[in-house]
Amino acid sequence: MRSIGRFLKKSKDNKASENVYASSKHAREFAAELGLDVYSSNPYVKILVDEVSTRRAKGSLGVGVGLFFLAPIQGFGLLSNALTSNGLDPETETMIRNESPPELKLVLIDKYKKDFGFEYKKKGAVKGLLDNPNYTPRDQAYLNLFFRRLGKPDDRPGVEGLLNAVGHLGKVDTPDAATFATTQMELLSAYHQYAKDLTELVVVSEMLGAITEEKQLFLIVPHDIVGNTTHMQKFLDKVVVTSQVHGAKGIRLWFTGDVTGGFVSRSKSMGVKIKEDVLLLPHFAPNDTTNQNE
């Protein structure tokens, strides 16, 4: 089993804290102009953004200049690693660009309190999440957006269990785990905007899942390939136990990649329904007519 390659962009030694280049207003503005992620761990992106923003700050490089620096750059990170069509939000991007990391944190503290009544306090869930260095400021901004889309939708009741999910996300201990958690939140948020049937977020074996209106336990897992490994067998066992605890009437596991026949067979024998390559479904690609009858 391998995690999606595009998410393996950070190492444990390179925790996503407030890098000098990323805390500069010039850096954030320049990154936004070029569609770069100012918090990327890509060394070429760091050099590019740091060099141009430093020169702009000193007045030695015009605000509209910097594109020529892109010539030697290969494989630089895009502004967003969003998997879904609504995973890139203009308002959130503007907030990330205009606010320094400390200012952005204060904005998010206010949003959690105003929208959900969640206080930033000692040993609290919000503090644990916003103080976790494994998330970049971009991750933090988008997590708040996904929570609001799930918990404060305009046209229906919000999903419950948000505070428990905030607490779960605040406990991740590596940048890779933080990226995985952020991606799961994006997928759940996108699905709920389309299907409108999630009622409660739940923690399942160090992942986030949800209970649907039909009392199904539902998880979307961003793996590009899933095999019948010991790890996945244990995961499946824990999923079944969690469904029993919550009184679920069924289990649905959706994966963004391929699933081997062995894992599908074992899941079926345990009453678990599997769906693979789910990013092709209209839940995540509404303009794509592929599999409209799914």
R_g over Cα of the chain = 20
Whole-angstrom distance, CA of residue 199 vs CA of residue 142: 21
Q: Is pLDDT at 42 greater than 90 in this prediction?
A: no
Percent of the chain at pLDDT exceeding 70:
72
Interior CA angle at 132 toward 14 and 180, to 5°? 70
Residue 175 maps to a domain = no
Is-contact 145 134, C-beta < 8 A?
no
With contact defined as beta carbons under 8 Å apart, do 250 and 285 qualify? no
Element housing 209 (H / E): strand 207-212
Confidence bin at 287 (pLDDT 50/70/90): low
Does any domain span residue 224? Answer: no
Per the structure, the count of domains in the chain is: 1
- CA–CA separation, 6 and 102 (whole Å): 27
Distance CA 14, CA 285 (A): 33
Q: What is the pLDDT of residue 17?
A: 41
- 98 in any annotated domain: no
Q: Domain for residue 57, yes or no?
A: yes
Mean pLDDT of the chain: 80
Say if residue 214's pLDDT is above 70. Answer: yes
Residue 99 falls within a domain, yes or no?
no
* Residue-wise pLDDT tens digits, 254-263: 999 999 999 9
Domain-embedded: residue 27: yes
Q: Predicted confidence band at 2 (pLDDT cuts at 50, 70, 90)?
A: very low
Say yes or no to pLDDT of 252 above 60. yes
| pLDDT, mean of residues 204-230 | 93
**Domain-located, residue 43:** yes
Q: What is the pTM of this model?
A: 0.75
* Structural domain boundaries enclosing 12: 2-70
DSSP state for residue 75 in the 8-state scheme: S
State phi, psi for 293 to the nearest 5 degrees: -90, 5
Q: Which amino acid is at 233?
A: Q
Q: Is residue 227 one of the residues assigned to a domain?
A: no
Q: Residue 59: helix, strand or coil by DSSP?
A: coil
